[in-house]
């Protein structure tokens, strides 16, 4: 379990309790040691979470406190709303639906003033319902699945002049540039990294082969090739 998930679960376990929750019970629930629970609670207290209690006694949220489980500020919440709108408008169907349901879950546990703030942002990303948009969203889903599954893809690809070539690629990443998507990949035909525009892919299908990311043709190698030395993956 990631530490961030563990901290969230500790806060959620303490919400609404009238009696102290023993550290041992938390440790059993989370599947960690008592020492880990003590350290996590101490870190939460230092970050401003109003947890009262101590080792051997138990923990409880300070009386009268009412905090959302993830403790979003109004600006952080607005960023999440705007981000989910952009994902819904421009990403594949699977991620778009996931972004929407995630936001609904977050808003369900927010206090009223933050929930109201989340509906007031004036930054929109309208979704146009047309067959072309839906087909493109499905293509983004398929490309994303191929990246996650290390699937070699066969493409019929049109260049800028309209000429079509058959490509076999090892897909590495998808990037959105505000107006267009690109698919970063190792192209076996060119024996080099290439960027492909999904809107120029006439046909795509998995070859049935699973590739291994070799150092010289991996995501980090691609990023170096396109001039990106560091990538913030947080």
High-pLDDT (> 90) share of the chain, %: 42
Q: What pLDDT digit, counting tens, does each position of 45-70 carry?
A: 888 888 998 888 899 988 766 555 55
pTM of the full predicted structure? 0.66
Domains in the chain with CATH codes: 3-61 (1.10.10.10), 74-118 (no CATH), 131-225 (2.30.30)
Indicate whether 194 pLDDT > 90: yes
Q: What pLDDT digit, counting tens, does each position of 29-39 carry?
A: 888 999 999 99
| Encoded tokens for 89 | 């408008």
Contacts of 44 (CB under 8 A, 6+ apart): 7, 10, 11, 51
Q: What pLDDT digit, counting tens, does each position of 130-162 carry?
A: 677 788 999 999 999 999 999 999 999 999 899
Buried b (16+ CB within 10 A) or exposed e, 67-83: bbebebeeeebbebbee
Indicate whether 14 pLDDT > 70: yes
């Amino acid at each position: 379990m990631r530490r961030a998930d563990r901290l969230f679960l500790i806060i959620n376990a303490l919400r609404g309790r009238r009696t102290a929750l023993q550290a041992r019970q938390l440790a059993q629930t989370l599947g960690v040691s008592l020492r880990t629970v003590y350290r996590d609670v101490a870190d939460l207290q230092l970050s401003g979470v109003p947890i009262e209690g101590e080792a051997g006694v138990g923990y409880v949220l300070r009386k009268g406190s009412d905090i959302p489980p993830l403790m979003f500020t109004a600006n952080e919440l607005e960023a999440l709303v705007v981000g989910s709108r952009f994902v819904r408008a421009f990403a594949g169907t699977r991620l778009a639906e996931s972004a929407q349901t995630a936001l609904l879950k977050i808003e369900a546990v927010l206090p009223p003033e933050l929930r109201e703030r989340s509906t007031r942002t004036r930054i929109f990303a309208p979704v146009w319902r047309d067959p072309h948009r839906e087909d493109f969203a499905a293509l983004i889903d398929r490309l994303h699945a191929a990246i996650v599954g290390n699937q070699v893809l066969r493409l019929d690809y049109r260049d800028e002049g309209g000429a079509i070539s058959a490509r076999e690629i090892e897909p590495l990443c998808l990037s959105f540039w505000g107006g267009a998507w690109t698919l970063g990949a190792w192209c076996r035909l060119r024996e080099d990294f290439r960027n492909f525009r999904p809107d120029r892919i006439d046909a795509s299908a998995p070859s049935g082969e699973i590739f291994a990311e070799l150092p010289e043709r991996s995501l980090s190698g691609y990023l170096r090739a396109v001039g990106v030395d560091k990538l913030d993956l947080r």
